[in-house]
Amino acid sequence: MYLLGSFSTLFINSANKNLPDNLWRFHVLVAAFLSSQTKDEVTAACMNRLIKNGLSPEFINKQSFESLRDMLYGVGFYNTKAKNLKEISRIIIENYSGKVPDKYEQLVMLPGIGPKMANLILQIGFGIVVGISVDTHMHRIFNRIGWVKTKNPVETSKEMEKMLPRVYWDEINKVFVGYGQTICKPINPKECTIRDYCSHGRKGRKKVTTKELKYEE
C-alpha cells in the first residue's frame, strides 16, 4: 500500500522493491509526482491502480491523454498531471533510454518535478542525498519552532541545509512529515512535547536550536 506520509519507509519496505531497479525507480518518481496536493489514501489507490495495469514509462507513453486522465482521477490537478506524466515518460524513453535520470539538474527539468520531488526521487530511488526535501509540513514546523524565518519550502530547504549536519538530511524528512500530518497541524495543532519552544505552544516562547535536540543514529 502506498502511504506517502511515510514516503521513504513505504518504498524501502514495499514488495515492489523486488522489481528491476529501473522500473522501481519509475514507480518512485510517479508516486512522488502524484502525491503533490493529494491525500495519502488517494495517492495509494491511484498507484495501486496504475501498477495493476503494468506501470512503466512505455505503458504511460502509449496511453491517450483521456485514458491516463481517467486513471489519475481523484488526485490533485489530475488533468495537468496526466499531461505532464505523459511528457515525463516520453522524455525518459527518448532521452534516457527508459531510465529515470539520476542527476538533480535533469530531474528538475522534467515537467511538474520541482526541487522537493527531485530530492525525494534521488534519496529513495538512488540513495543519493543532495538536499533536504521540505514540504509544507516541515516548512510550518521549522518556522514555528524558530529554526528558520522563511516564506516558502524552497527557502526553508536552503536554510536547513546550512544549519543541519549533512548526515541527518536523509532522516529529517521521515521524522517531520508525519509529525506535521498528525501533531503539528496548520490549525489547532495537538499538544506536543516541545510546545514550550513553539510560537503556537501554550507556555513560553523559548527558541530551540538544533544543538538542543538529541539525534538518534
Delineate the domains of the chain, giving CATH numbers in brackets.
4-126 (1.10.340.30), 136-212 (no CATH)
List Cβ neighbours of 55 (8 Å cut-off, separation of 6 or more). 26, 27, 30, 47
Q: Tens place of pLDDT for every residue, the chain, 217 residues?
A: 333 445 544 544 454 567 899 999 999 999 999 988 888 788 888 998 999 999 999 999 999 999 999 999 999 999 999 999 999 999 999 999 999 999 999 999 999 999 889 998 998 889 899 999 898 889 999 999 889 999 999 999 999 999 999 999 988 887 888 888 888 888 877 678 877 778 777 544 445 555 544 433 3
Helix count and strand count (H, E) for the chain: 11, 0
- The alpha-helical segments, DSSP class H, found in 21-125 are 21-35, 40-52, 57-62, 65-71, 78-96, 104-107, 115-120
Residue with cell 519550502: 153
Rounded Cα distance, 78 and 2, in Å? 18
Residue 198's φ and ψ, nearest 5 degrees, are: -105, 145
**Where in the sequence numbering do the catalytic residues fall?**
116
